[in-house]
Amino acid sequence: MAVSVGLVGTGTVGRGFLEILAKHHDDFLRHYHIDLQVTRVCSRRNDVACELGFSNVFTYDFHDILNDTSIDLVVELIGGVDDAFDIIAGALQAGKSVVTANKALMAQRGKELFALAHEHKVELAFEASVGGGIPIIGPMKHALISNEISCVMGIVNGTTNFMLTCMAEQNLSYDQALQIAQQKGYAEADPSADVDGLDAAAKIAILSSIAFNTRITLSDVYAQGIRALTPLDLEAARDMGYCVKLLAIGRRSEAGIEVRVHPTMIPRSHALASVKGVYNAVYVVGDAVGDLMFYGEGAGSGAAASAVMGDVLECARHIQGNVRSFVGCTCSDTLPIIAMSQLETKYYLRFPVVDSPGVLASMASVFAQHNVSIYSVVQRGKKDKDTVEVVYVTHQAREQDIMAVVEEVAALPDCLRGTPALIRVED
């Protein structure tokens, strides 16, 4: 029995998907008895379809796929939210299962789409939406289902991880690292989604929803990017036995769920500290299994297309066997999201201040007023005219108190001479 597939989108991942199918179609048939047939291809341009031999089934109108009753499965790879939602919703309503790599859509409107999939008794799969080629959605929904997950965190954006690796190992500025990332094709001309943490925020919303069985959307996630980091901050972290990573963190406690993305100092002994370049990793802690880490390439046509194809083959098996997905949406709990202001952790704070008597005493008084205990204070770097960089590391403190300290130090007369830096510390 052939399974008929309609593909929407022939960009980097769409091309990769078609190339994998061309290379391994006979293997899939021989090993898994799955005969995948791409019977419709839709895109804004026909060049890829023509190049790969699909010109006779090409269309510019995705409705041709939705209205084709012979198509069993739709693969959506156009990205974005609004148009992609219309395509996926239309396919589900037409009784077709769907595979997508669309993290933004799943993080914002996944609940609606899962409801449609359930209503029409079809499947919605999205493995490639988080870790590219890293299998993480499937393991969390199947192999780890017997665990209560207390924490899921990771490096889930290859662009920023590459940039931070360059900054740390080559002593480059943010702008220099970004330029190299753009030259290599890792960063877009507008890198905002990556460097401001929005890409990672969508991914941790998806992972946390699965890990904690509660609906978490993109708007629930605190996101801070890497634009403000300097080589001085990375050097200071190294001297203290840490490295700096843009971490996406979801953590369960008795009070609810923490879900956040920001630059984070982690000990160099931690498994995530060894993840460099464009590689991604997701770290999961379960009550039965303990600590696990999933590691691999997080981007690129081959990695993402591999995850898409894995979902397509799994859905095709269910279609052939006339069975529904074994595990659908699991977000049946309603756990509170802990406000970022209530976060409690350690903090690294760097202040460029006037080099004059009384400044440190005034700053220490501000910390004391807000009950923030200082673990260490040092002067970093060389004196620039009359300005020095003063670095504080705190004991455990509350976010709202730290923010109050930063605000009041900024208001001290003849004190601050630049923008302060703040990095949260995870031990």
Q: What is the mean pLDDT of the segment spanning 100-109? A: 95
Helix (H, G, I), strand (E, B) or coil at 99: strand
Contacts of 116 (CB under 8 A, 6+ apart): 89, 92, 93
Tell me how far apart the alpha carbons of residues 127 and 353 are, in angstroms, rounded to a whole number: 48
pLDDT in tens, 165-217: 999 999 999 999 999 999 998 888 999 999 999 999 999 999 999 999 999 99
Q: What is the mean pLDDT of the segment spanning 351-373? A: 93
12-32 helix and 301-321 helix, angle to the nearest 10 degrees: 40
Query: How many CA atoms lie less than 13 Å away from 45 in the CB half-sphere?
Result: 8
Tell me how far apart the alpha carbons of residues 327 and 287 are, in angstroms, rounded to a whole number: 21
pLDDT at 379: 87
Helix (H, G, I), strand (E, B) or coil at 353: strand
Instruction: Count other C-beta atoms under 10 Å from residue 66's C-beta.
Output: 23
Catalytic residue among 96, 103, 203, 245: 203
Place of tokens 């629930």: 220
CATH topology identical between 2-132+301-321 and 146-297: no
pLDDT in tens, 121-176: 999 999 999 988 899 999 999 899 999 999 999 999 999 999 999 999 999 999 99
pLDDT band of 263, cuts 50, 70, 90? very high
Topology classification of domain 341-425: Alpha-Beta Plaits (3.30.70)
Question: Beta strand pairing status for 73-76 and 97-100?
Answer: parallel
pLDDT more than 90, % of the chain: 86
Cα→Cα distances 196→101, 117, 145, 204, 402, Å: 21, 32, 32, 14, 21
Tell me how far apart the alpha carbons of residues 137 and 134 are, in angstroms, rounded to a whole number: 9
Helix (H, G, I), strand (E, B) or coil at 74: strand
Tell me how far apart the alpha carbons of residues 51 and 15 are, in angstroms, rounded to a whole number: 10
Query: Nearest-5° angle of CA 62, CA 63, CA 67?
Result: 130
Contacts of 390 (CB under 8 A, 6+ apart): 350, 351, 352, 353, 360, 363, 377, 378, 379, 380
Determine whether 184 is an active site residue: no
Beta carbons of 169 and 243 less than 8 angstroms apart: no
Beta carbons of 376 and 393 less than 8 angstroms apart: yes
Place of tokens 């790599």: 101
Residue type for position 216: I
Q: What are the boundaries of each domain within the chain?
A: 2-132+301-321, 146-297, 341-425
pLDDT band of 364, cuts 50, 70, 90? very high
CATH top-level class of 2-132+301-321 = alpha beta
| The domain defined by 146-297 carries CATH number 3.30.360.10 | yes
